Structure 1
Amino acid sequence: MTKRRDTDEIEKKPASAERLVFARNFRKARKAKSMTQRDVNDQTGFAQAWISEVETGQSAINIDNMAILAHAVDVPLWQLLVP
């Protein structure tokens, strides 16, 4: 039988280096286009709160959503993955 843990007890794992590279590069690209997170929300339909979590490395993101965000800021996805 598995013990259930309270959510307050669950430790957050640190974000992977790769996730943080994407987060930093995406935020930089968004700001270079003078876009707000709300602008990205309007273009992609992704919640502004989730975009914020992606930019800080707090939220996991799949490759398909990375591609959508890259397209929103007119930067090839591969560039957002370069350290």
Structure 2
Amino acid sequence: MRSEARALLAQLTEERGTDGVLKLDSQDGPDLPPGSTEYPPCQCPQHRTEATPTSPAASLSLKVRAVNERSQSGQA
């Protein structure tokens, strides 16, 4: 006998995709913005790249992240 949570998980997996595959339902209306269905880059220390940002917004984001990390570690 399976629990209700396990049954719900099985149902959601069947409806939304399997094995971590993102399955998008078709929709009526305007198209999705470009890149909106892409996963964001991994931010864990072992996968984070310190690549040169390609836009001013990305550059600012990297600077803010660095300041936040310093302030959280007490190095302000």
The TM-score with structure 1 as length reference comes to: 0.27
Higher relative contact order, structure no. (Cα contacts within 8 Å, ≥ 6 residues apart): 1
Structure with the higher helix share, 1 or 2: 1
- TM-score (normalised: structure 2): 0.30
